[in-house]
Amino acid sequence: MIRIGHGFDVHAFTEGRPLIIGGLTIPHEKGLAGHSDADVLLHTIADAILGALALGDIGKFFPDTDDAFKDMDSKVLLGEVVRKMNEERYEIGNVDAVIMAEAPKFRPHIDAMRESVASILKTQVSNVNIKATTTEKLGFVGRAEGITSEAVVLLTKMEEY
């Protein structure tokens, strides 16, 4: 049994916060605004997994009106979604994600990001692909107002012994 899910998220740039993407702090002059640490990539992957399981979205489980999730580490958030996925007896088949940002350049960080995401997802690095693109200076991403990300995940049913 396999299930597919799609995730999408956007966060605006802001001064005075670190840029945290894929669980890593990426050197940049601005970070992202959010109720949590605003890790747009991990939120996207969490939403894709919840989508595949028809469980809704991250706002349902981690409302941005709840102080408990203020400045939350999104590695914990995604870890909790992975726990729900395993509870439903599913595991990651593969993930393919894209980060859309005018800057910074993510390519030097992609391998470390894949390791970080794979470890949270409890899967092999070869099951995680992360891409980056600009939007050729078009739109809010092109004006460097924020970062957006999309992902698709395939989940596979765990073998029963």
Ligand X SMILES: C[C@@]1(CO)OP(=O)(O)OP(=O)(O)OC[C@H]1O
Ligand Y SMILES: Nc1ccn([C@@H]2O[C@H](COP(=O)(O)O)[C@@H](O)[C@H]2O)c(=O)n1
Q: Which residues bind ligand X (CB under 6 A)?
A: 9, 34-36, 38, 43, 58-59, 62-64, 69, 72
The partner in contact with residue 69, picked from ligand X, ligand Y, none with C-beta cut-offs of 5 to 8 angstroms by kind, is ligand X
- CA 32 to chain centroid, in Å, comes to 13
CB of 93 to ligand Y, least distance (A): 24
Does residue 101 interact with ligand Y by CB under 6 A?
A: yes
Does residue 143 interact with ligand Y by CB under 6 A?
A: no
CB of 35 to ligand X, least distance (A): 4
Does residue 106 interact with ligand Y by CB under 6 A?
A: yes
CB of 34 to ligand X, least distance (A): 3
The partner in contact with residue 121, picked from ligand X, ligand Y, none with C-beta cut-offs of 5 to 8 angstroms by kind, is none
Give me the residues paired with residue 97 across strands: 130, 151
Taking CB under 6 A as the rule, which mask of x and - marks residues 56-95 in contact with ligand Y?
A: ----------------------------------------
Nearest one of 69, 14, 74, 65 to 43, comparing CA atoms: 74
62 is in an annotated binding site: yes
CB of 139 to ligand X, least distance (A): 19
CA distances to 3, 34, 47, 67, 127 from 79, rounded to whole Å, are: 19, 19, 12, 19, 17
96 is in an annotated binding site: no
Q: How many CB atoms lie within 10 A of CB 7?
A: 25
Q: Are 110 and 99 in contact (CB under 8 A)?
A: no
Name, in order, each residue with C-beta under 8 angstroms of 26's C-beta and a sequence gap of 6 or more: 19, 20, 104, 106, 109
